[in-house]
């Protein structure tokens, strides 16, 4: 299940996070999972990492999901109630930002099979010296990539509004710095 959808005209991405997600800092998240978290050195004009969240997995901290909210303005969140396809009611944080970056540690590096299934909307693209999968979902995009290539490391998903040019999205991905631990 993806947590990205799009606000059509504003250049913002409408998205959500589970309530169990906790606000944190990059340093605290790195300390919890035991490895440095990669961050982009390039972001679109005026944008910065506004907030960092962790969805902790205490049984295996390295499997925790890290989310960076990137925008050119303060991000407002509200708790909403949502009914899923199975009829279950869930609460979650909903927000709008320019870009969302989700990541988690993976022992299997590299692009492997497309994370978006056999959809024609998913294409293998060059990301620096590596590869990634770019999926176009109508009103938003997702770029799945691995900053360390085929070595164990983070699997990263960048989700901007579709209005962000593909070249700029790939430029953000290529700028990811990864401190060897």
Distance CA 35, CA 105 (A): 9
With respect to residue 54, please indicate whether it lies within any of the assigned structural domains: yes
With respect to residue 13, please indicate whether it lies within any of the assigned structural domains: no
With respect to residue 132, please indicate whether it lies within any of the assigned structural domains: yes
Which tokens in the block code for residue 169? 């999205």
Number of domains in the chain: 1
With respect to residue 14, please indicate whether it lies within any of the assigned structural domains: no
Which DSSP letter does residue 73 get?
S
What is the enclosing helix (H) or strand (E) of 122? Answer: strand 122-127
Which tokens in the block code for residue 131? 């590869």
Q: Which tens digits make up the pLDDT trace of 58-74?
A: 888 888 999 999 999 99
Distance CA 181, CA 154 (A): 12
**Helices in 18-71 by DSSP H: which ranges?**
26-33
With respect to residue 136, please indicate whether it lies within any of the assigned structural domains: yes
- Given a cut of 70, is residue 1 above it in pLDDT? no
With respect to residue 85, please indicate whether it lies within any of the assigned structural domains: no
- List the CATH number of the domain containing 109: 3.30.200.100
Q: In the chain, pLDDT over 90 holds for what percent of residues?
A: 47
Give the structural domain span for 44. 23-75+98-177
Distance CA 80, CA 51 (A): 19
With respect to residue 82, please indicate whether it lies within any of the assigned structural domains: no
What's the confidence (pLDDT) of residue 2?
Answer: 40
Q: 113 vs 124, 127, 152, CA distance in Å?
A: 10, 16, 16
Q: Which tens digits make up the pLDDT trace of 133-145?
A: 898 887 788 998 8
What's the confidence (pLDDT) of residue 7?
Answer: 35
Distance CA 176, CA 35 (A): 15
The chain-wide mean pLDDT, for the chain, equals 84
Q: 47 and 99 in contact (C-beta within 8 Å)?
A: yes
Name which residue leads in pLDDT, 170 or 110: 170
What's the confidence (pLDDT) of residue 6?
Answer: 33
């Amino acid at each position: 299940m993806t947590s990205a959808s799009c606000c059509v005209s504003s250049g913002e991405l409408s998205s959500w996070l589970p309530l169990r997600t906790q606000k944190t800092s990059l340093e605290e998240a790195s300390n919890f999972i035991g490895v440095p978290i990669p961050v982009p050195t390039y972001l679109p004009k005026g944008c910065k990492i506004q907030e960092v969240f962790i969805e902790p997995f205490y049984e295996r901290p390295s499997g925790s999901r890290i989310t960076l909210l990137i925008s050119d303005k303060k991000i407002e969140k509200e708790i909403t109630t949502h009914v899923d396809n199975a009829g279950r009611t869930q609460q979650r944080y909903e927000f709008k930002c320019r870009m969302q970056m989700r990541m988690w540690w993976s022992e299997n590096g590299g692009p492997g099979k497309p994370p978006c299934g056999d959809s024609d909307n998913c294409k293998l693209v060059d990301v620096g010296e590596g590869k990634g999968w770019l999926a176009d979902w109508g009103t938003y995009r997702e770029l799945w990539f691995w900053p360390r290539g085929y070595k164990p490391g983070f699997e990263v998903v960048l989700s901007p509004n579709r209005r962000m040019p593909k070249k700029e999205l790939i430029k953000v991905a290529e700028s990811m710095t990864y401190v060897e631990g």
